[in-house]
Chain A
């Protein structure tokens, strides 16, 4: 099993996001005043400055905005992954998140911009938080 770096706490912006991940939910924020979608989690709306943000569940579906295949990372946590796909994912609800694309035969040829993907929660060897990653659909 992978053993990626874990989120660390106390960190009040992202705590709620990660608790939801533990329950198998991918969440984002939306401004109750102006409807701006906010991600990554924070305490004000980037559209209007309001503090009136609501947490929402994402469908976990979206597409690859862009990607790269990392061939070498000096952090030993990533060694078990081999060459891995790092990507910005555009979720259908309108937020963009950094993640990895997994479950392809050859990461150097099998991922494309705009490819449809869906979230899955990857269990970790020692960390208590699973990590949301994406698989082509």
Chain B
């Protein structure tokens, strides 16, 4: 541990509280969130010297955000790798700060996916835009987002004997955590979930099949939302309002379909070990696993790839309610209620950072006593095809 990195930390967070926000634009959600995150950190507007934004529409990107904010930052980063953009951007902010290029970085996200009814799950957008090599080979076959992940799930079941009951453990634990988070309960209410209470494995099995073998209660919601993260240098972090969450390891990787490739292994298998090596910790030491739960299979696959168990052994890891916040077993999973039951406006990666920080500060609604280490792993793109995986390992002060 002697050489464990303490170059930069997350010092301010804000999760936009609403999941249905009619009348608000994505840019307004971002800006309100930046103000609140600065307040959380005890920093000023003029302290920001680095802006990271995904350019997810509505005038964003580094080139769009900085003028709206009235800032002239020394670092601009418009990394866009889908839902894992925020883990990639955290890695970049750490590097930029460690290199002395910036002191206070802001990462921001805003989306009105629910209010504008943008298709996230079952929309199969085809025949639009310019002709391209990928569209010409895939559009005739009716790929949809859920279907892409379902392809991973069937092969995982075929090779390792994983069952829907095993995958449902994720839905059940996540929903338990959501019932304890008032913002998640309001989200499920506002988005007209059939029920907002705890669910059982049987409930998951009996929910509507969307794309075999994935059921409705294995799929994330489609919400509005957003937020902001403030990352600061060691010197700045020592003077902020709350305890810093130190960024001690990061890993970035992508994966895509290859002839003869293994669809059950994600980009996390490449980037995860890099993050753990840099952090000088092992998966067994991690208290909190914030894993991108677009669908249950996403989490199962990534837990294996990060080394919480061997490939194909998720089914054993899942036993015994391990993922619940109130058991002694590690890791505890998605304590905010996840994309399944709290917040999924299209790119969930930033929320993984928020809840990791809350746990390390002792502020979660499903707090794990004495949580010291958390991993946020974002997955962007589509798990069964081209996707990006970004890992960020955080340590309590």
Q: Which A residues have a C-beta under 8 Å from some C-beta of B? A: 4-11, 13-14, 17-18, 37, 39-42, 46, 65-75, 77-78, 81, 84, 86-88, 90, 94-100, 108, 112-114, 131
Inter-chain pairs besides A69-B211, A113-B154, 13 sampled, C-beta below 8 Å: A8-B131, A11-B132, A11-B136, A40-B134, A65-B263, A67-B151, A69-B209, A72-B144, A75-B142, A84-B142, A87-B151, A98-B137, A98-B138
B124's contact among A75, A96, A100, by CB below 8 Å, is which? A75
Contact sample, A vs B, 29 pairs, CB 8 Å cutoff: A4-B140, A5-B126, A7-B131, A8-B131, A9-B131, A11-B131, A11-B136, A13-B133, A14-B137, A37-B259, A40-B134, A40-B137, A66-B151, A68-B151, A68-B153, A69-B212, A70-B146, A71-B210, A72-B144, A73-B144, A75-B123, A77-B142, A81-B142, A86-B147, A98-B138, A98-B143, A99-B141, A108-B209, A131-B141
Residues of B within 8 A of A69 (CB): 209, 211-212
The answer on a CB contact under 8 Å between B133 and A41 is: yes
Residues of A within 8 A of B29 (CB): none
The answer on a CB contact under 8 Å between A66 and B136 is: no
A49 CB, min distance to chain B CBs, angstroms: 15
- Does B72 sit within 8 A of A, measured CB to CB? no
Interface residues on B, range: 35 or more
Give the contacts of B238-279 with A (CB-CB under 8 A).
Answer: 257-261, 263
A133 CB, min distance to chain B CBs, angstroms: 8
The answer on a CB contact under 8 Å between A8 and B135 is: yes
- Does B150 sit within 8 A of A, measured CB to CB? yes
Chain A residue at minimum C-beta to C-beta distance from B149: A68
Residues of B within 8 A of A65 (CB): 155, 263
B363 CB, min distance to chain A CBs, angstroms: 39
- Does B119 sit within 8 A of A, measured CB to CB? yes
With A70-B211, A74-B119, A108-B212: A88-B263 Cβ-Cβ less than 8 Å: yes
Counting chain A CB atoms within 10 Å of each CB, the highest count among B122, B127, B212 belongs to B212
Give the contacts of B196-250 with A (CB-CB under 8 A).
Answer: 209-214
Residues of B within 8 A of A8 (CB): 127, 131, 135-136
- Does B47 sit within 8 A of A, measured CB to CB? no
Distance of A79 Cα from B156 Cα, bound (Å): 29
With A8-B127, A114-B158: A70-B142 Cβ-Cβ less than 8 Å: yes
Distance of A99 Cα from B141 Cα, bound (Å): 6
- Does B190 sit within 8 A of A, measured CB to CB? no
A66's contact among B132, B139, B152, by CB below 8 Å, is which? B152
